């Protein structure tokens, strides 16, 4: 193989790697935006928007399904006039059309008061996948005391 051809192949390979890196960065940015949109839906007390962020086969703690998650969100919104989510830094692991996002979070109600049943920092582990071009939440687990 000539040096000229080898040079072109190296340039083409570098370009492909750069484009793949850009696509991964765009996917991660879109995923982070989906996480942020879910946070906004919670803070706006919009149970329907919370449900829309979940896949039809969503599964949460103790077998919580998509409808159960919507009902749980609606109950929290009825009990607390204001709800805010304060997530810590996101740890993102990207796959091909799926991802895992882990973080810690504090949920507050009212003017910064911690919700009675959520008075601790929670460790949250979520799984996401792309459906119809959008990131949607497949599963979520949370546990107190991280």
Delimit the domains of the chain by residue range: 3-144
Give the integer Cα–Cα distance in Å for 36 and 43. 11
16: pLDDT strictly greater than 50:
no
Least confident of 13-17, 33-37, 43-47, 120-124: 13-17
73 touches 88 (CB < 8 A) = no
Per mean pLDDT, which range of 14-18, 46-50, 90-94, 95-99 is the poorest? 14-18
Q: Is the pLDDT of residue 58 over 60?
A: yes
- Sign for the pseudo-dihedral over CA of 69, 48, 34, 80: negative
| Concatenated DSSP letters of the chain | --HHHHHHHHHHHHHHHHHHHHHHHHHHHHHHHHHHHHHHHHHTT-HHHHHHTEEEEEE-GGG--HHHHHHHHHHHHHH-S-EEEEE---EEEE-SSEEEEEEEEEEEETTTEEPGGG-S-EEEEEEEEEETTEEEEEEEEEEE--
Structure tokens of 131?
A: 């459906």
Residue where the block lists tokens 């329907």: 48
Whether the predicted model's global pTM rises above the 0.95 cut: no
If you classify domain 3-144 with CATH, what class do you get? Answer: alpha beta
Examine the pLDDT at 21 and tell me if it is beyond 90. Answer: no
Nearest CA to 146 out of 95, 91, 105, 100 is that of 105
Give the model's pLDDT for residue 43: 87
């Amino acid at each position: 193989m000539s040096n000229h051809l080898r040079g072109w192949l190296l340039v083409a390979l570098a370009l492909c790697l750069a484009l793949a890196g850009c696509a991964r960065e765009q996917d991660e940015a879109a995923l982070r935006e989906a996480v942020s949109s879910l946070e906004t839906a919670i803070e706006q007390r919009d149970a329907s928007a919370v449900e829309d962020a979940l896949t039809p086969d969503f599964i949460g703690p103790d077998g919580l399904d998509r409808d159960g998650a919507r009902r749980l969100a609606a109950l929290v919104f009825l009990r607390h006039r204001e709800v805010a989510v304060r997530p810590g830094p996101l740890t993102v692991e990207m796959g091909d059309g799926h991802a895992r996002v882990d973080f810690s979070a504090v949920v507050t109600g009212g003017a910064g008061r911690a919700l009675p049943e959520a008075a601790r920092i929670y460790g949250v582990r979520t799984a996401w996948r792309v459906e119809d071009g959008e990131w949607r939440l497949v599963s979520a687990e949370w546990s107190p005391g991280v």
